[in-house]
Structure 1
């Protein structure tokens, strides 16, 4: 029984390692070639994992994209920090969590991946659904943060601020991608200033 348990754990560990390696490889290919031009055969060749095994782990290429999006979202959204700040009623920490949407500097690889995701949204309904699910989750968390920070503000007004945060965040990322040599720090500081003024105005 003990040997069986050890073997099961070993298989599980190998399965996790294989999955992580596959996702890392697919992510690099998606960034370099785009979702549309990357096929399962290329992922198999680059990862050294047989196509049949890939299909046992993932139903299709879109399932791989969904898994990558989930990993990225979990790492970036830091929901545990928001939950802790809300539970402690730590307004400074909640504000910092919100402002991070405008302060974060995504890597070149992250920016390219997001650009690829947006490009696919218009032509692939499965990717569009993945993006919508991610979008809804981020919006929900932002709304929770705003409600905790400003409990007397209506949902409609909070929704407008969430839209503003999305626009500022995506706009900043687009500028970094389109104008990589531009000094982005002053623009980022101004964006945060605009956001702070908007949050202050909600109290009026």
Structure 2
């Protein structure tokens, strides 16, 4: 399982992306647009090659299948969305306000073209595609673990683990529902909805912290 608190023993040297990484990013970006416009099944490697400017043979050296492209897109989105480094720093410092701010960013999401339209397509594909289903299960486990790690700051006692897990699931359910609503009603203003969700989340956090 992905561990938000795992620290490498070897110092990491910050370097720019390699040509291969840049090419994979370009391929994933082109595929994202096509998946949104045409759907997963109607998009072939030839279309991705044309849109990205990368030859089909090279695509298969970078990604064995369209499923692997989906995996790369999801990994990039989740890594950016979770901002695990910020959460790790707040948890390590015992900074409840910092953790709460991280949860606010998790709940109050901006509309992002491409991500909002693509996620329902991926979820639908997971119903009939075992590989995509496995990707989504891993994604769910990673996000759930990260949310539980955040909430544990408010209820660190071992005996509160079940309470933390339930609140984490509640938050994820509310946010997933919000994302679905944003995808299906693209012109609807969700500001009031997000404020109501955040109010519910704050009530649960206060209860965990013994302030309810």
Aligned pairs for 1:45-194 (under 5 A) are 45-152=50-157, 154-194=160-200
- 1:67-104, Cα deviation, whole Å (9 max, x unpaired): 11111111111000000001111110101112222211
Deviation at 1:109, TM superposition (A): 1.8
Alignment TM-score, normalising by the size of structure 1: 0.88
Which protein has the bigger helix share? 1
Q: Which residue in 1 is equivalent to 2:25?
A: 20
Counterpart-to-counterpart distance in 1, 2:76 and 2:190: 27
List runs of 5+ in structure 2 lacking aligned partners.
1-16
By how many angstroms is 1:110 displaced? 1.2
Deviation at 1:63, TM superposition (A): 0.9
Asked if the contact 1:94/1:149 (under 8 Å) is kept, the reply is no
**Greater shift after overlay, 32-41 or 86-95?**
32-41
Query: Would you say the 8 A contact 1:85–1:93 is kept in 2?
Result: yes
Number of paired residues? 193
The residue number in structure 2 matching 1:5 is none
| Contact 1:34/1:116, CA 8 A, preserved across alignment | yes
Segments of 5+ residues of structure 1 without an aligned counterpart are 1-11
1:180–1:21 CA distance, 2 compared to 1 (3 A): closer
Give me the whole-angstrom Cα distance separating, in 2, the residues matched to 1:82 and 1:42: 39
Alignment match, 2:7: none
Contact 2:147 2:168 in 1 (8 A): yes
- CA distance in 1 between counterparts of 2:207 and 2:22 reads 49
Per the alignment, in what secondary structure is the counterpart of residue 152 of structure 2?
Answer: helix
Q: Which has the larger radius of gyration?
A: 1
TM-score by length of 2: 0.85
* SS of the residue 1:181 aligns to: coil
Q: Deviations over 1:123-176 (max 9, x none)?
A: 101000011111100111111111122213622111111111111101212222
Change (3 A) 1:33 1:185: same
